[in-house]
Amino acid sequence: NAGVMQNPRHLVRRRGQEARLRCSPMKGHSHVYWYRQLPEEGLKFMVYLQKENIIDESGMPKERFSAEFPKEGPSILRIQQVVRGDSAAYFCASSAGGWSSYEQYFGPGTRLTVT
Amino acid sequence: KQEVTQIPAALSVPEGENLVLNCSFTDSAIYNLQWFRQDPGKGLTSLLLIQSSQREQTSGRLNASLDKSSGRSTLYIAASQPGDSATYLCAVRPPGANSKLTFGKGITLSVRP
């Protein structure tokens, strides 16, 4: 019974390149949340998705960032034209539902370094 | 807008001490509060989850309390050990749908042998 999986665990990109981060939720979970942890900061919400739908993207930067959760396959967080300020740990969490009664389970994170 | 504060940002104690980590939040309309542990470069490990109707939760040497009306929670660690060294994050969750977590910045604990 695998937990939430994220890959890659570490990703190095040069400025201007694209970064793709993947999140496979726990079996049976159809709700995914992405959080970002900047250096010396707590985790901050970015986006909440259900299968094929973006429910809340209020925490996403307006430009260069996008997320999807297709019917088949993992959720993808995509960052275009990365800049040094995008260097952070990106965590996803999955749950069986979006209501507060459903606990979120976190993956190990992807650490993005932009050089 | 919910804000979660954890002070101090860092704490160093000798082994064996009992200690209390504090967490405060501005909006008392929460569904639950959760304490996590994060080791350097690692993911989050859930330690304790307290529902808004509960006053405390215990797991081994850990005890978390919640005073929703005053917007405060404490994590009590008994007989601290060097292996407890980590960053401790608290997070609150509002009631209802689309229920995302709001985290504090964490307290980095160092337990000296």
Evaluate if residue B53 carries a pLDDT over 60: yes
What residues 16-75 of chain B have any CB closer than 8 A to a CB of chain A? 31-32, 36, 41-44, 46, 49
Q: CA of B98, closest CA in chain A: separation in Å?
A: 5
Determine the pLDDT at residue A99: 80
Q: Which residue of B has its CA nearest to A41?
A: B105
Q: How far apart are CA B61 and CA A111, in angstroms?
A: 31
Chain centroid to CA A39: 17
Q: How far apart are CA B5 and CA B27, in angstroms?
A: 12
Q: How far is CA A115 from CA A8, A112, B40, in A?
A: 17, 10, 21
Determine the pLDDT at residue A98: 81
| Interacting residues of A50 by C-beta distance below 8 A, sequence separation 6+ | A30, A31, A32, A69, A98
Q: How far apart are CA A23 and CA B69, in angstroms?
A: 37
Reading phi first (left if > 0) and then psi (alpha if -120 to 50, else beta), residue A52 is in left
Determine the pLDDT at residue B72: 97
Determine the pLDDT at residue A1: 55
Determine the pLDDT at residue A40: 80
When CB atoms are compared, the residue of B4, B42, B99 closest to A98 is B99
Q: CA of A48, closest CA in chain B: separation in Å?
A: 8
When CB atoms are compared, the residue of A98, A99, A109 closest to B43 is A109
Q: Token pair of A29, please?
A: 């979970």
Chain A interface residues (partner B, CB cutoff 8 A): 33, 35, 40-45, 48, 55-56, 59, 91, 93, 98-109, 111
Asked whether the beta carbons of B84 and B75 are under 8 A apart, the reply is no
Mutate one of A46, A87, A92, A100 to test the B interface: name it (highest B CB count within 10 A): A100
User: Which residues in chain A have Cβ-Cβ distances shorter than 8 Å to B95?
Assistant: 100
- Give the tens place of pLDDT for each residue, B92-103: 999 887 789 999
Asked whether the beta carbons of A3 and A26 are under 8 A apart, the reply is yes
pLDDT per residue, tens digit, chain A (115 aa), is 579 999 999 999 999 999 999 999 999 999 999 999 998 888 999 999 999 999 999 999 999 999 999 999 999 999 999 999 999 999 999 999 888 788 899 999 999 999 9
Q: How far apart are CA A77 and CA A8, in angstroms?
A: 12
